[in-house]
Amino acid sequence: MTFSHQIKIAPSILSADFADFGREIQAIEAQGADWVHVDVMDGHFVPNLTFGPPAVAAFRKHVKTVMDVHLMIAPVDPYIEAFASAGADIITAHVEAGPHIHRTLQAIRATGKKAGVALNPGTPADSVAHLLDLTDLVCVMTVNPGFGGQSFIDMTAKVRALRSMIGDRPIHIEIDGGVTPQTAPLVAAAGADVLVAGSAVFKGGSVANPAPYGANIRAIREAAERATGAQLA
């Protein structure tokens, strides 16, 4: 995984067909996904339940790009080793998940994986100021975590603050929640480079008819790249 600021689209398989994850992952990658985003929820930190380490290990067999595992669980630390062994490339934990996010990021890095830190909409950019040396990715939630298909909450001011705080460090800014071709330009212009999208990627398509996945991914990417001026470069 070499670092780049280019826009990356990370479909969330929370919006995939839950009876057919292997083929759904293959379909989104064939249709242009850069990363595969896996939303782990525990029914405690967030009011919904999704996948544990054995499911994530099963997804790994199909992911050829980057498996981006977003842990919406508390506590986090007892499960880091299991998600690392399951084959995550990036493990992201929430700053709100416990009192010792610094230790959590150290523990993620100790497994050899990339470490991400996620911020709920109500959490300020400053909460990661003393964590940047331990961080490969900051995930800015643009919905309250727990469900796909919610509407975008404008966090562009937070993204801008993070971009200037990060400076030239090799740290991704990821946006998660309500990303569409309409909202992507706002966050891309503010400095985000990884766009997670669930409903906006999977809508209109299926394993049997994957072309809409490709069109949806392209629409988000092109809108974001237009906003950063990348297509002119």
Instruction: Please indicate whether residue 193 is annotated as part of the active site.
Output: no
Identify any residues that bridge with 217 across adjacent strands, giving them in sequence order: none
- Tell me which residues in 100-159 interact with ligand DX5 (CB under 6 A): 143, 145-146, 148-150
Q: Find out whether 104 and 95 touch, Cβ atoms under 8 Å.
A: no
Could you say which of 39, 68, 89, 193 is catalytic? 39
Angstrom distance (rounded) from CA 73 to CA 97: 7
Question: Of Zn ion, ligand DX5, none, which one does residue 56 interact with (CB within 5 to 8 Å by kind)?
Answer: none
> Helices marked H in the chain — which ranges?
21-30, 53-60, 80-85, 101-110, 156-166, 184-190, 199-202, 211-228
Pick 105 or 194: Cβ nearer Zn ion: 194
Could you give the 3-state DSSP secondary structure of residue 1?
Answer: coil
Q: Of 135, 219, 198, 214, which Cα lies nearest the Cα of 170?
A: 135
Instruction: Quote the crossing angle between the two packed helices 53-60 and 21-30, to the nearest 10°.
Output: 50
Question: Of ligand DX5, Zn ion, none, which one does residue 210 interact with (CB within 5 to 8 Å by kind)?
Answer: none
Angstrom distance (rounded) from CA 95 to CA 93: 7
Could you say which of 42, 136, 176, 193 is catalytic? 176
Pick 70 or 172: Cβ nearer ligand DX5: 70
Burial tier of 170 (Cβ tally within 10 Å: 0-12, 13-18, 19+):
exposed
Cβ 122 to ligand DX5 shortest distance, Å:
14
The correct pick among 179, 190, 195, 227 for binding ligand DX5 (CB under 6 A) is 179
Q: Of 27, 24, 32, 78, which Cα lies nearest the Cα of 52?
A: 78
Cβ 17 to ligand DX5 shortest distance, Å:
14
Question: Of ligand DX5, Zn ion, none, which one does residue 158 interact with (CB within 5 to 8 Å by kind)?
Answer: none
* Start-to-end CA span in the chain (Å): 23
The correct pick among 70, 94, 158, 172 for binding ligand DX5 (CB under 6 A) is 70
Closest-approach residue to ligand DX5 (CB):
198
Instruction: Please indicate whether residue 176 is annotated as part of the active site.
Output: yes
177 counts as binding ligand DX5 under rule CB under 6 A = yes
Cβ 49 to ligand DX5 shortest distance, Å:
12
Instruction: State the residues that interact with ligand DX5 by CB under 6 A.
Output: 12, 14-15, 37, 39, 70, 143, 145-146, 148-150, 176-179, 196-200
Residues annotated catalytic, as ranges: 39, 176
